[in-house]
Amino acid sequence: MPIARRRGLVLLASLLFSAMGAHAQTDPGIPLPNSAERVKPLGHWPNGACYGACAMGDTVLVINGAALEVVDFGDPAAPVRLGGLTLPSEIYYVAVERGIAYLSLIDYGLAVVDVRDPKHPRGLARLGIPGRIYDIVVRSGFAYLAVGDHGLRIVDVRVPKDPREISAYSTDGTLFEVDLQGHLAYLSYGTGGVHVLDVTWPTAPKPVSVTKPWDSVRGLSLYGQHAYCALGNDGFGVLDLSTPAAPLAVRSYPLPGNVVDVVTAGNRLYVSGFSCGFQAFDVTDPSAPVWTGSLPYDNCLTTVVGRDRLFVPTSPNGLAVVSHAPGQAPVEVGRRDDGGHSAKMDVVGTTAYVVGRYDGLRIVDVRDPAAPRGLGRWPATHARDVKVRDGIAYVAAESGGLQIVDVSDPDAPALLGRYPTFYANGIVLDGDLCYVGDRNQGLLIVDVAMPSAPRLIGRFYVPGQYVYGLQVRDGMAYLAYGYDGLRIVDVSDPVHPVLAGQLGTDGFSQGVDAGDGFVVVAEGSVGLRLVLVSDPASPVEIGRCLTKGHAAGVTLQGDFVYAATYPHGLTIVDIKDQRLPEPIGHFDTAGTAQSVVARGPRLYLVDMEDGFWILEHEDVYQTMDVTPSAAGLRLAAAPNPFNPATQLGFALARPGRARLTIHAADGRLLASLVDADLPAGPHAFVWDGRDDAGRPVPSGFYLARLASEGSVVSRKLMLVK
């Protein structure tokens, strides 16, 4: 009998997000390659590509970027996540035998994971394999790997903790899939056709035949003495294997789209691919498949066979649960409706707001960083940026416009208003104004005083040039224009924004943040640039720093710049000397880092294929001690960290003027607690975590500054909500 296909599967484009919101644990059995110099990982929210899954009855191993998740589909309408494990790289394929899972790691070879305890999957080993593993079949302690241009690799996994490659078979072409039947292995070799090998002895596979019945064979599945072959744009074909030394083409079935996978389950055949839908056939007569129905999935690139259900990844809308009774059409009976492609996020208190291209807005409870928990969702198609204030989320959603969403009940977000755009991809809030970066329309200035009726009041546009990033500070907007560099726009009169200055680039300006008199620009392959903008008409580069990878997003906090870089992750740069910025730490992710949010020592790093990581920057804790004055003036804060208030105490040796102020991490004045003549002796003032306008400030890192009689002392504070 043939090995059932697909207990493990490949899916090239579907995206899946962890709807249940549990943290995927890392495991020392397969150590992460992440450099953690001066950074400590606290938690991970997986949200990446679902290239595949593997069914063990109603329990399904689901690929989610770099995380393997174990999900119970006993009730297909309400799947329950049981456990998970974060691996060193994106996972491309998964197969299982006797409770041991075998995973293809992009760029990292083969991983072996013990999933016998679904709540606590455990990494066992990793074996370096050159190239990408497209398919894995495991039988009797041997794993057969389809490794693209590197052909077939056979690995001895009888001792799962010690996998060893024992033989290989390679020829011209790209090997996409392998199936086993008896002592024979059948290989789909793309334009190289179908190869048959004798694997009676796995240590010495022997060629039996090579046949090229069609232009290309992308995948195959065995059923008795027949094989069904995925033929790309030519549909699928039937191959007679009654004589393995001379397979014969029986016929082919044209289908629309690009067929990339075929799967058999009993006397049923499932055909899937790009733009060809999910097609079901009865193969009671193996040489004459009869169509029995379809489901309108644009991209469903494989089928996972469970106990009595099918699991169909439907890019980019998660995993469909399908029932297919004999003689009837397939019916969707459940769905894990998720997406991915995370872009940016905002964090307010203990709640994170994450936007993704296929995911819309996700609301996540990060109170316990080791176990982020999903709350609500707003389905904003192609969401690219988000800012949240006073229970309202402002979402930039490309052609879906600026969407204003009530998130005061995080479990039930509701639309308040919308302003149309062509390609909104960035947002900055300033008072009643929302500055929207539109890649095609430039800078849009929208009055959101009435969230239900946003209105455009100003616009800055450079024909033929695209806005990739923006920041606004002190009446100036700083716009990243890709290959056209940095533009500085005076928005002190938001109705009539005017160009104040510009600076070219030898990189690709795509992210920007503003400090006190300077900005930091993420410049792609050339790293970061620090630009003096105290005279907006004449911006001057004062410092430059290469990053590990291409700098995409950037955030300033105190003396540090945090850069999201791809394909690596996070780079931390010390800018105490702005002329000589110095990289001091980094943290690698499994995909393409896009942006980073800093809240005191806590960092939130967003990755397109890897969701987001919650990290701790240890240097911030180390710098929370008081900065003393030469005259011995001291400032105390208790409690610190604090919530909701902290008391600031100091003593004056003699009567005099004292000014106590609170500043944001980038130096902006937030609140003035006292500015008066005070008597000698001890004094105490309470900061309640609000600015001078009475608005609560978010969790994060702040600076208390005391000036008296020519002396200045400061203390770093951390507000944790």
Give residue limits of the domains in the chain. Answer: 9-26+48-336, 342-621, 626-719
Residue 26 pLDDT > 60: no
CB 402 within 8 A of CB 396: yes
Rounded CA gap, 189 and 193, in Å?
Answer: 5
Residue 8 pLDDT > 60: no
The yes-or-no answer to whether 9-26+48-336 and 626-719 have a common fold is no
Q: Kindly report the pTM of this predicted structure.
A: 0.79
* pLDDT value, residue 24: 43
DSSP-assigned states of every residue in 658-671: EEEEEEETTS-EEE
Sign of the C-alpha dihedral computed for residues 487, 490, 491 and 494 taken in this order: negative
- Find, among 16, 706, 58, 662, the residue nearest to 338 by Cα: 16
The pLDDT confidence band at residue 631, using thresholds 50, 70 and 90, is low
The pLDDT confidence band at residue 186, using thresholds 50, 70 and 90, is very high
* pLDDT value, residue 391: 93
The pLDDT confidence band at residue 63, using thresholds 50, 70 and 90, is confident
- % of the chain at pLDDT higher than 90: 60
Residue 18 pLDDT > 80: no
Topology of domain 342-621, CATH: Methylamine Dehydrogenase; Chain H (2.130.10)
Query: Which segments of 202-348 are extended strands (E)?
Result: 206-211, 219-223, 226-230, 236-240, 248-253, 258-265, 268-274, 278-282, 290-295, 299-300, 304-305, 310-313, 319-323, 331-336, 342-348
Please, which residues bridge with residue 556 across strands?
Answer: 561
Residue 37 pLDDT > 60: yes
pLDDT in tens, 241-286: 999 999 999 999 999 999 999 999 989 999 999 988 899 999 999 9
Question: Which two three-digit tokens encode residue 454?
Answer: 């946003």
What residue has token string 């292995």?
185
Rounded CA gap, 434 and 451, in Å?
Answer: 11
Please, which residues bridge with residue 394 across strands?
Answer: 387, 404
* pLDDT value, residue 2: 38
pLDDT in tens, 676-716: 989 988 888 999 999 999 989 888 888 999 988 777 788 88
Q: Is 405 helix (H, G, I), strand (E, B) or coil?
A: strand
For the domain made up of 626-719, the CATH class stated in words is mainly beta
* pLDDT value, residue 36: 65
* pLDDT value, residue 4: 38
If you average pLDDT over every residue of the chain, what do you get? 88
Give the strands of the sheet with 39-45, arranged side by side.
39-45, 611-617, 602-607, 593-599
Q: Which of 24-33, 50-59, 66-75 has the highest mean pLDDT?
A: 66-75
Residue 352 pLDDT > 90: yes
Query: Which segments of 133-247 are extended strands (E)?
Result: 135-139, 142-146, 152-156, 164-169, 177-181, 184-188, 194-198, 206-211, 219-223, 226-230, 236-240
The mean per-residue pLDDT over the stretch 552-574 comes to 90
Round the CA-based radius of gyration of the chain to a whole number and report it.
29
Question: Which two three-digit tokens encode residue 295?
Answer: 């489901």
What residue has token string 């990339």?
260
The mean per-residue pLDDT over the stretch 505-510 comes to 92
Rounded CA gap, 244 and 440, in Å?
Answer: 58
The pLDDT confidence band at residue 338, using thresholds 50, 70 and 90, is low
The pLDDT confidence band at residue 632, using thresholds 50, 70 and 90, is low
Topology of domain 9-26+48-336, CATH: Methylamine Dehydrogenase; Chain H (2.130.10)
The pLDDT confidence band at residue 15, using thresholds 50, 70 and 90, is very low
Rounded CA gap, 517 and 515, in Å?
Answer: 6
The mean per-residue pLDDT over the stretch 211-217 comes to 94
Q: Which of 86-95, 225-234, 340-349, 555-564 has the highest mean pLDDT?
A: 225-234
The mean per-residue pLDDT over the stretch 462-476 comes to 92
* pLDDT value, residue 22: 37
The pLDDT confidence band at residue 34, using thresholds 50, 70 and 90, is low
From residue 218, alpha-carbon distances to 2, 192, 367 in Å are 19, 10, 46
* pLDDT value, residue 39: 83
Residue 202 pLDDT > 50: yes
Rounded CA gap, 584 and 622, in Å?
Answer: 14
Residue 455, φ and ψ in degrees, nearest 5:
-140, 140
From residue 96, alpha-carbon distances to 16, 99, 137, 192, 503 in Å are 20, 6, 8, 28, 56
The pLDDT confidence band at residue 317, using thresholds 50, 70 and 90, is low
The pLDDT confidence band at residue 718, using thresholds 50, 70 and 90, is confident
Residue 426 pLDDT > 80: yes
pLDDT in tens, 511-551: 999 988 999 999 999 999 999 999 999 999 999 998 888 99
* Least confident piece of the model among 33-42, 59-68, 76-85, 208-217: 33-42
- Find, among 71, 66, 91, 89, the residue nearest to 81 by Cα: 71
- Find, among 334, 367, 369, the residue nearest to 351 by Cα: 367
* pLDDT value, residue 21: 35
The pLDDT confidence band at residue 11, using thresholds 50, 70 and 90, is very low
